[in-house]
Structure formats: C-alpha cells, structure tokens
C-alpha cells in the first residue's frame, strides 16, 4: 500500500494485547515488520512489506476497507493549489 508506513500504521500491528482493538496476534506479521525496520535498502523494505501484507491478509489481522478521497473545488482566481487527498493550503494565493 502506497503511503502507509509500517512503523506507525496501527491496524497492521499483530502484537497481542498491545495491538489495535481485537488484539490480533501473529508472530509472522511482527517478524516481517521487524525485517522492514532492519532492511538495508529499498528493495529489502519492499520485500518485507510484501511479506507483511501477505501474512496480515493470511492471518486476517485486519480488513482493509480502502481509502477515500474528498472532492475539492477551487475558485478560478485561486492559484498554487497542490493536488492531494486533503486540502493543502500552503502556497495558495489569490490571482
């Protein structure tokens, strides 16, 4: 999943009572997460994430429900709008 950081993404944790609600326990998910932290390069990180995702979906530690994007409308006299999943207001100015 692009944009998700395994270090801070709580639904991915599977460390028992310290995990997100439901207390999923999966040593495989946690081992893959540790591999991600120890990865020496991007390719090793990617392999660890693939392993982590496969283990999480195999053990059903959580059910990803997807992402959503809100609609945004801007007046024609506004410039500097950055595209993204949230409205970013830095760099925005009236023309």
Does 48 have pLDDT greater than 90? yes
pTM score:
0.61
89 closest CA partner among 69, 68, 78: 78
Instruction: Please check whether residue 92 is in contact with residue 83, taking contact to mean a CB–CB distance below 8 angstroms.
Output: no
Q: In which region does residue 23 sit, left (phi positive, over 0), alpha (psi from -120 to 50) or beta (all else)? A: left
Instruction: Please check whether residue 85 is in contact with residue 67, taking contact to mean a CB–CB distance below 8 angstroms.
Output: yes
Instruction: Please check whether residue 14 is in contact with residue 25, taking contact to mean a CB–CB distance below 8 angstroms.
Output: yes
d(CA 63, CA 57): 8
Average pLDDT, the chain: 85
d(CA 24, CA 18): 9
Q: Mean per-residue pLDDT for 49-64?
A: 86
Q: What was the pLDDT predicted at 66?
A: 73
Does 61 have pLDDT greater than 50? yes
Q: What was the pLDDT predicted at 69?
A: 67
């Amino acid at each position: 999943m692009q944009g998700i950081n395994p270090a801070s993404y709580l639904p991915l944790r599977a460390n028992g009572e310290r995990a997100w609600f439901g207390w999923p326990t999966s040593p495989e998910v946690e081992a893959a997460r540790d591999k991600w932290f120890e990865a020496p390069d991007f390719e090793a990180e990617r392999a660890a994430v693939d392993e982590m995702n496969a283990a999480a979906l195999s053990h059903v530690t959580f059910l990803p429900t997807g992402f959503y994007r809100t609609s945004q409308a801007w007046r024609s006299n506004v410039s500097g709008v950055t595209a993204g999943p949230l409205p970013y207001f830095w760099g925005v100015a009236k023309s």
